Amino acid sequence: MALAMDEFRRLLADRGYRVTAQRLAIYELLQENARRSYHPSAEELYQQARERFPMISPATVYNTLELLVELGLASQLGFPGDVQRYDGNPHAHANVQCVDCKAIFDVDAEALEDIGQRVAERSDFVILGQRFEFYGICPQCQARRAREETQARPQAGDAGAATGSAAG
């Protein structure tokens, strides 16, 4: 659930968390990134936050991101062992991650809400959230792989020349 800043302030206060300028800025930055369908790492958010708060610590960014995930305002994405990225888009969507370059893309998927409702009905669970992640190779990496394959193949003339020189 994306919240307006005043709603976010109220949520923090209602849950007993301090409302700090740094927390507000990190949430705002995460929302700005989400509007661009970008999934920043904690380090990227830290660098962005430092532009507004030069003395902010990496721990503040990491702790705030953990809090946002706990509150359901962000999701942590990525492969185990890789740099984790954060998604501030709370609306039903799927994430597609490239296994080569690690880029993550949002794909609108309105039908996902129906899936959550059906799962709730069949399991008697109260569904608090859902996450759909797909893994594959993005168009740019597909093109790069095709170029690399083409360059790695020996040319028809090269094979004959190599055979002819070895025989002579």
Higher pLDDT: 49 or 131? It is 49
Which residues fall in the annotated binding site for Zn(2+)? 98, 101, 138, 141
pLDDT value of position 116: 80
Mean pLDDT in the chain? 86
**Cβ atoms of 51 and 105 closer than 8 Å:** no
Top mean-pLDDT range of 109-113, 132-136, 154-158: 132-136
Return the pLDDT at 157.
58
Rounded average pLDDT over 105-109? 79
Binding-site positions: 98, 101, 113, 138, 141
Provide mean pLDDT across the span 108-132: 81
Domain boundaries, the chain: 1-88, 91-154
CATH topology of domain 1-88: Arc Repressor Mutant, subunit A (1.10.10)
Beta strands in 21-167 (DSSP E): 75-77, 85-87, 93-98, 104-108, 132-136
CA distances from 164 to 26, 71, 158 (A): 66, 70, 10
Binding-site residue ranges for Fe cation: 113
pLDDT computed for residue 167 by the predictor: 46
Q: How far is CA 30 from the centre of its chain?
A: 11
Structure tokens at 25: 């800025």
- Homologous superfamily assigned to 91-154: Ferric-uptake regulator, C-terminal dimerisarion domain (3.30.1490.190)
Strand runs labelled E in 22-131: 75-77, 85-87, 93-98, 104-108
Q: How confident is the model at residue 156 (pLDDT cuts 50, 70, 90)?
A: low
pLDDT > 90? residue 31? yes
pLDDT higher than 70, residue 17 = yes
Residue pLDDT, tens place only, 40-65: 999 999 999 999 999 999 999 999 99
